[in-house]
Structure 1
Amino acid sequence: MSNYNITRRNFVKSSALLSSSLFLGPTLANAVGGVFPKSPLRPVALHWLEETENRIIDGATWGVPWPMGQLKQNADFSLKNTNGAKHAVQSWPLAYWPDGSLKWTGHAMPSGVTGFNDFSLVPGEKIQPDQSLKVAETSLEISIDTGKIQCTINKKGKDLIAAVQRNGRTQLKNGRLVLHHQDQAPGEEGTVNTSEFEGKIEKISLEQKGPLRTVVKIEGKHDAEGKKAWLPFVVRLYFYQGGESIRVMHTIIYDGDEYKDFIKGLGLRFSVPMEDELYDRHIRFAGEEEGVFGEAVKGLTGLRRNPGQHIKTAQVEGKKTPPVDQFAESVSSRLHYIPNFGDYTLSQTSPDAFEIRKRTKKGHSWLKSGFGQRSRGTGYLGGPKGGVVFGIRNFWQSYPAQIDIRNAHTDEGEVTLWLWAPDAPAMDLRFYHDGMGQDTHEKQLDALNITYEDYEPGFGTPMGVARTSEMKLWILEETPQNETFNALANGIQEPAVVCCEPAYLHQVGVFGKIWDLPDRSSLIKSKIEDNLEAYFEFYHQQVDDRRWYGFWDYGDVMHSYDFDRHTWRYDVGGFAWDNSELSTDLWLWYYFLRTGRADVFRMAEAMTRHTGEVDVHHLGRFAPLGSRHNVQHWGCSAKQLRISTAANRRFYYYLTADERVGDLMREQVNAVETLKEIPPTRKVTDQSVWDTESDPNKVYVSFGTDYGAVSAAWFTEWERTGDDKVKEKLMNSMRTIAAQPKGFFSAGAKMDLRTGEFDRVDHQRASASHLSAVFGLMEVCAELVQNIDMPEFEAAWIQYCELYNAGEEEQEEVLGNALGKMNLGQGHSRLTAYAAKIKNDPELAQRAWREFVGGGAGYRLREPYVRTLEGDEVLRPMEEAHVSTNATAQWGLAAIQCLGLIGDELKW
């Protein structure tokens, strides 16, 4: 159930059940309805992530955190702009503190609000909107009126969007999903059979119904007569009061047979009624930078006879031409001889090349009309009576993409936004090798020693992987001028994002209170800050240098580098795509929190979209687990919680209130149950450790990577909903880890899925894995300690943090045995720093800084040496550096958290 639908009654009921072991500020009875009177909150300063010049904003949604105990559940809010004028804002809860007060709130502003450059959110004041969205629902349809456009959405059938009107005129209709299926792989011999499917609605809901923002969620599968329905979809349609546009979030989940079900085309199609004269029907495509391709169905320029300069100028500018009797007679009498070009295509089949072509109609040849490198993926079809601007976000980054305009010379033009371009070869998701005889665990482990690939037959399947794309449809009263068209295209490619200042986020203490703002108060701190920037800049540039783009790839980075070939190891087993290994996502998000940089946000946003969708199985045998790093994102047989963890999604969800990412986190609430069928250590540990066949309610869970993900999912669900059952399981798990003979060093135990309680292990030996705390466990435990008053759990966690990097004598003295040679010492320096902070131990803090500067399994304190490669060593000029993504992510997190926790102790 969506957290928007939590009623006041249910919230009070669930909150009242919270354990007395939580930090309880004001009484829960007071947690319902406004601002706590003891400390009035000041307005929260907001700003746009990027400059808004040359970008049209048609409403916006964002999240804001609040200090614990300050805001009651039903607090009111308003927006205040730079002129002091106050405006209405739609608000809803995203998360709660343990005392029931608001922790995160979601907000939406309508379209058309002016004067918003520097603005603020004012708690405790409510402004009624001048106008509200009008939403009506029947058994057959949902109707939404923004005040500018009126959209009718079907509840059944294949036309998701029945019609969109403006000023009483239908300008878009029959909006439907299309899928071209092919039964053979591209480029192979044999007869290829193709089929056309369309999305069919199975479920629809008003996910949010508010005065300023409404969200419609549509679910279904692609269907064709006589064929089995397949390829589930989730489409969300977003509307803002006063808006002229519809934001479309489109998710598909692959459920086919990758050896038989090849996608040749995938997209959204709709019809555009055409009423203007043929020479007043305009086509636009956005090219590179501010470039615009602009033509008309029936061209009046370049003819042998001149119709008149004012007529040609009107057509070129997209304005209505004068009446035909004002045309030169030499042209008006021969208009029927001028070809009508009704079909246009913009095709981007690589990240570096797009093509525009046109033809008169089906059955005739195409004319080459334009070429370029990176199109902004936006088009227009219409005329002076109105039309539609349409675009695909990340058009060239998510190639192959395509936009088709068809039949613009008839009464009804047709537009298809292809998320997978028919111009490109069919999508091929088959595993990239035949297994090479790895039919036993012994052989698979042996192969791991050469290619670092964890292979197992049947595990390298794309079954259940997903992809979310974003589109936008603008319903306009007339053909936009080029400047306006560019502003619309830019807004589609980089939607406006509202942000809090980093200083405010830090002050509130969200995400564990383990980070601080940039600090250059000393030479060594300046050096760390310089290195943080340098490592980010290098990876940011590598995305473009190495063309880490594509429908299934955009958002990820590579794992390891091959200096002999001067390329990342894209083709070597487990060294290729990173798939969140060692918390790349967390590094980027914590770096954004402290800097507020737009380029960091955009890279982290793309990574969140990718790693949460493509690297995770959302249905099928492996759902909802993620896949370890591999040549293909889904290729590894290590299906694990550490990849699908909600810990990597929380930042984007709370900063943007994005519903799809909310879905992804909720998928993980019961993900631990999957470990019964897919034990993570099945190849390397004795079966008696993880075998729970005798008890259907038990599953083996490690206290490291597994528990980090389990606790992140439960903690996030609890703070989003106040669900007392989830809270109870979370606290039971914490309590029973603390009760283990060696706490976290007991390594793992069998968990009761009904209660979250761990069995007490019967061994006394302490052990640890170098991976346990580097997939979000550190960050999640910091939040658990911050939010839940359980001294025994805090002590167990502090013990782990202090002893992991300790000397063997100290480990043996406390634990009874030394842990042996441990890896990732630099990355774990942040755990030592955390223990030093909690214990207020300067000596331990100095140890943490020595571990960090020492660079164990990481980097020394120097900027990465980056060199430019040119000549015959490489395909084209590009940069390389002596880095590894594992080391970079852990160095970045260690640097940020050591500075945040014990920065005052760095006196060198």
Structure 2
Amino acid sequence: MTLRRRDVLSRAALVGAVATAPGGALLARAAGIAPPGSGMAGAGQADVTVGWLDGAPPARDEGQCWGQPWPRGTAYARRGYHLVQPDGTVVPLQTWPLAWWPDGSVKWTGHAAPADAMRTAGGQVRPGPAPLPVPLVLSESEAEIAVTCAGVTWRVPRRGTALIASATQDGTVLLADVALTATAQDGPAAEPGESSRTEAFSGMVRRAIVEQGGPVRAVIRLEGDHRPAGSPAAEGWLPFSLRLYFHAGSRCVRIVHSLVFDGDPAVRFVKGLGLTGRVPLRGALHDRHVRFGGEDGGLWAEAVRPLTGLRRDPGEPFRAAQVAGRAVPPLETMAPVLRGRLDYVPAWGDFTLAQPNADGFTIVKRTAPGHGWVDVDGARRAPGFGYVGSPAGGVGFGLADFWQRAPVRLDIRDAASDTARFALWYHAPDAPAMDLRFYHDGLGMADYYRQNQGLDATYEDYEPGWGTAQGIARSTEFRLWALPATPPRAALAQMAQLVARPPRLIARSAAVHVAGLFGPWAAPDRSSPALAALEDRAQSELDFYLGQVEQRRWYGFWNYGDVMHSYDNDRHVWRYDIGGFAWDNSELSTDLWLWYAYLRTGRADLFRLAEAMCRHTGEVDVYHTGRFKGLGTRHGVQHWGDSSKQPRISNAAYRRIHYYLTADERSGDLMRALLGSEERLREIDIERKTGDVERPGGKPRPQRPAGQVEMAFGTVWSSLAAAWLAEWERTGDRRWRDRIVAGMESIAALPQRWFAGYAVYDLASGRFSGGETVRISHLNGAFGAFELHAELLELVDMPAYREAWLDYCEFYNAPAAAFTAKTGARVSPGGLRQGHARFTAYAAVHRRRPDLARRAWAEFAEQGDRPDRVASRPARRVDGADVLKPVDEIIGMSTNDAAQWGLGAIQLSALIGRFAPSPASPLSSGVS
């Protein structure tokens, strides 16, 4: 899926000329500057392609959903769309609009395909309906919602403890009473001699909503919370929302479950979190089968009552049938010496696969409660899949990101009775309880003066009561299969593989680029030695971070998806325990770096890391309820621990690419939930510690009039505007455009415009005032502001604001004399000059200035913000007594620098690649 530069250029020529959209997408070629990837005119049907993320069709597919991009001017086909495979086979699609261009043409469409319909590597999305031979059918009543597909009817109650009441086929119940369960303690993990009380809770659905009703895909959203077991009227906690996804042709339901921790971390300690269900069992004990997915495509498969390995051989037909999961021959054909003695063979009713960490799992079993467990086997990493059933029906169940989210567990109970129970524990109940309390006692930092001293020492912004986990969230994905019989072992292994590595149909990067989406980016370019050196470093740093996730074990329920901020050269570890140098929490746009790296390369491993980060940073690092709702937490030892709560972390720009590529409803929820989050700034003053607090007893700065806050243009307003932009393009509602325009107009009217950096913002009108002083923060452009503006200025025609932004881009990194001449300020900004080289490049293109293009490359070749980081030194292996285990390290590594350098490399290459310096320059040697 790698997007090649020459392919993009040839496809752009086929699609049409560069559009003369507001903002000057048609640039002066006389200046010798190649235009960025801007909007293209024409439909370009031949190039609207979709393909498998991993390059080839999977062995098993339970239905697909993705977002398809369209160039500006494309009319939405209200009669529908279909997908054409290379052999001419037509795949019917269910379609809905995801986003619109300002002129009302379609920008993104969402598409759903039936199970196992796409059997080639790629295809073309085209307008026009296509018949679906066996559609999914959804019906509603006052009490429940029913979905029938692939012969299975799933019944979803609108209220109560059951998420799914039953799954039946031809009147036979295959699955029943799917529900959520949780346990919590009144204290942390007990020390020797201590004890704590544990309480059980049941999930309670309060509301069910049909979001899509077929014919290809049905989506049902359930909302509720957890109540004390057996007390549905009691006060709830741990609110949840989840979606059930059904696809035509599939016996599988995909469940995406999102949980908010809304308790007091010092009072309630979550212990077990699980999804449970019941499986009616029919047939003799020797015809009941238990399966667990194993390592590297393996499968553990046994019967409740084994017929293999006995002292008396039942015969090869019996052994072969049981091992394969089929019904054994009639017992009267079994050798009499064994036939009358089967009751003496133990029946095993309970099974557990436990993965307590990322490095090992074990399987144990027992005959029944009250009897001892027997060790079975173990290996390193399980895919998170299990099955229990018989030739008369059974259930497969899976938990995504299984070993990555350890401690986790799969349970099967009562398999020797008429009804088996299963549980997917997305936090194992026998693991230590989650301890979400803040990690230190405050260290005497009772006022802003001492807190600023602490910030200077450890880079952690501490304030009592602000480092709370109350309000953070986490999503988990499950799959359930209602099956008419025990599948063959190979089919079960395929299900396990699907759980561990879900196949993904996705729009090819060429289609996204031709549509002119997500600003300036292009395929890797190795057309000169300097650009080739750039690509080499870009690839090596991405590979390094992919490897660090594994080597450093950045796994766990709350951690998976994030990376660390800065490296400790002396201890040979990341600074996991040093304040703001620990977890990265999206600092300086790590998310965007990964997404743009994926877009330009099509690498599946980058997509999966970016998706895991999108899930993590949008949920764990953001508050979803409480006083900080809609704000995110700055980087720190705990994801929620730093007291700086800001929109720059909850930033919709970090979810937007994932949402459009996947049509993922959860990412859409997270962006929409940010609307109105600026109101939190009435009480949460981000700059509260920058007043007269440089000495003990100093006073904080004075309060603003009600409804007015001091707001930074880049870290705050641009982050808020990303959510407004997403809502405007998703709905066409001009209220959100007007909100953006109010800010743009008022910034352009300020005396210092963007150079002010901050101004007084009126929450009601959305307009700025003041701005007489130059107060630029080096962070102003580092949290997606550049990427936002690269798109926004192609959508909103506002010449005064465009010039204000281009001035900022040109002069931020300008020589001190030029900066002073432009702004009147004596001191020019000095931070993140390398990251701001892409701003200079943008000004070079839009102002047709080759001299700025050359200056941008020179700025990009400067040393980054870490003086000990020498980019020409590759990663090295450290082993022996210096480290716990052999690891790779790069001295002075900082994710801040890696993300900003990576984004700069992508955007300079796309904007001014032809001006890259000669091989003799510092850039070609890799010096940053």
TM-score bin (small chain): over 0.9
2:630 is aligned with 1:624: yes
Distance in 2 of aligned mates of 1:648 and 1:410 = 49
CA-CA distance at 1:52 after TM superposition: 4.8
Partner of 2:187: 184
Partner of 2:252: 245
CA-CA distance at 1:73 after TM superposition: 6.4
Of 636, 651, 660, the match for 1:645: 651
Of 661, 666, 669, the match for 2:672: 666
SS of aligned partner of 2:794: helix
SS of aligned partner of 2:599: helix
Residue type at the aligned position of 1:229:
G
CA-CA distance at 1:207 after TM superposition: 1.6
Distance in 2 of aligned mates of 1:820 and 1:546 = 39
Partner of 1:57: 61
2:554 is aligned with 1:548: yes
Partner of 2:13: none
2:204 is aligned with 1:200: yes
2:774 is aligned with 1:781: no
Partner of 1:873: 882
CA-CA distance at 1:821 after TM superposition: 4.8
Partner of 1:442: 449
CA-CA distance at 1:78 after TM superposition: 1.0
Of 215, 223, 231, the match for 2:219: 215
Residue type at the aligned position of 2:381:
R
Sort the Cα spacing of 1:681 and 1:602 in 2 relative to 1 into closer, same or farther, 3 A: same
Sort the Cα spacing of 1:45 and 1:863 in 2 relative to 1 into closer, same or farther, 3 A: farther
CA-CA distance at 1:904 after TM superposition: 1.9
Residue type at the aligned position of 1:573:
G
CA-CA distance at 1:175 after TM superposition: 0.5
Partner of 1:156: 159
CA contact (8 A) 1:43 1:121 kept: no
CA contact (8 A) 1:392 1:471 kept: yes
Deviations 1:623-681 (A, max 9, x none): 11100111100000000110000010001000000001101001111111111111111
CA contact (8 A) 1:353 1:372 kept: yes
CA contact (8 A) 2:225 2:236 kept: yes
CA contact (8 A) 1:827 1:894 kept: yes
Partner of 1:451: 458
Residue type at the aligned position of 1:561:
Y
2:734 is aligned with 1:724: yes
Distance in 2 of aligned mates of 1:243 and 1:698 = 54
- Using structure 2 for the length normalisation, give the TM-score: 0.92
Distance in 2 of aligned mates of 1:686 and 1:704 = 24
Distance in 1 of aligned mates of 2:701 and 2:589 = 25
Residue type at the aligned position of 1:570:
Y
Distance in 1 of aligned mates of 2:24 and 2:327 = 67
Partner of 1:888: 898
Moved more, 848-857 or 236-245: 848-857
Partner of 1:808: 816
2:371 is aligned with 1:364: yes
Distance in 1 of aligned mates of 2:43 and 2:176 = 52
Report 1:34-113 matches (<5 A).
Answer: 41-42=45-46, 44-52=48-56, 55-72=59-76, 74=78, 76-113=80-117
Residue type at the aligned position of 1:805:
N
Residue type at the aligned position of 1:900:
A
Of 737, 746, 751, the match for 1:736: 746
Residue type at the aligned position of 1:814:
K
CA contact (8 A) 2:688 2:700 kept: no
SS of aligned partner of 2:689: coil
SS of aligned partner of 1:511: coil
CA-CA distance at 1:784 after TM superposition: 1.0
Partner of 2:845: 837
CA-CA distance at 1:262 after TM superposition: 1.0
CA-CA distance at 1:724 after TM superposition: 1.7
CA-CA distance at 1:753 after TM superposition: 2.1
Sort the Cα spacing of 1:630 and 1:789 in 2 relative to 1 into closer, same or farther, 3 A: same
Partner of 1:31: none
2:347 is aligned with 1:340: yes
Distance in 2 of aligned mates of 1:691 and 1:664 = 34
Moved more, 228-237 or 677-686: 677-686
Distance in 2 of aligned mates of 1:887 and 1:447 = 24
CA contact (8 A) 2:576 2:583 kept: yes
Moved more, 162-171 or 861-870: 861-870
Sort the Cα spacing of 1:62 and 1:201 in 2 relative to 1 into closer, same or farther, 3 A: same
Moved more, 145-154 or 647-656: 145-154
Deviations 1:738-783 (A, max 9, x none): 111111111222222222112244x2x3221111100111111111
Moved more, 43-52 or 847-856: 43-52
Deviations 1:165-212 (A, max 9, x none): 134321110010000121111023543111111100112101222210
Sort the Cα spacing of 1:263 and 1:272 in 2 relative to 1 into closer, same or farther, 3 A: same
Residue type at the aligned position of 1:150:
T
Deviations 1:368-426 (A, max 9, x none): 01111111110111111121111101100011110110001101000000000012111
Distance in 2 of aligned mates of 1:38 and 1:53 = 30
CA-CA distance at 1:730 after TM superposition: 1.1
Partner of 2:592: 586
CA-CA distance at 1:71 after TM superposition: 2.1
Q: Figure out how many residues of one structure are paired with residues of the other and give that number.
A: 873
SS of aligned partner of 2:255: strand
Sort the Cα spacing of 1:53 and 1:792 in 2 relative to 1 into closer, same or farther, 3 A: closer
Of 141, 144, 147, the match for 1:141: 144
Distance in 1 of aligned mates of 2:656 and 2:766 = 22
Residue type at the aligned position of 1:549:
Y
Larger relative contact order (C-alpha < 8 A, sep ≥ 6)?
2
Partner of 1:18: none
Residue type at the aligned position of 1:308:
G
Sort the Cα spacing of 1:424 and 1:51 in 2 relative to 1 into closer, same or farther, 3 A: farther
Moved more, 202-211 or 841-850: 202-211
Residue type at the aligned position of 2:744:
M
Distance in 1 of aligned mates of 2:659 and 2:836 = 27
- Using structure 1 for the length normalisation, give the TM-score: 0.94
- Mind listing any 5+ residue stretches in structure 2 that lack a counterpart? 1-20, 26-39, 694-698, 919-928
- Mind listing any 5+ residue stretches in structure 1 that lack a counterpart? 1-20, 26-35
CA contact (8 A) 1:73 1:101 kept: no
SS of aligned partner of 2:161: coil
Partner of 1:817: 825
CA contact (8 A) 1:534 1:864 kept: no
Report 1:309-458 matches (<5 A).
Answer: 309-458=316-465
CA-CA distance at 1:311 after TM superposition: 0.6
Deviations 1:132-153 (A, max 9, x none): 2111111110000113321000
SS of aligned partner of 2:768: coil
Percent of residue pairs bearing the same amino acid type: 45
CA-CA distance at 1:682 after TM superposition: 0.3
Moved more, 475-484 or 178-187: 475-484
Partner of 2:907: 897
Distance in 1 of aligned mates of 2:861 and 2:323 = 63
CA-CA distance at 1:568 after TM superposition: 0.7
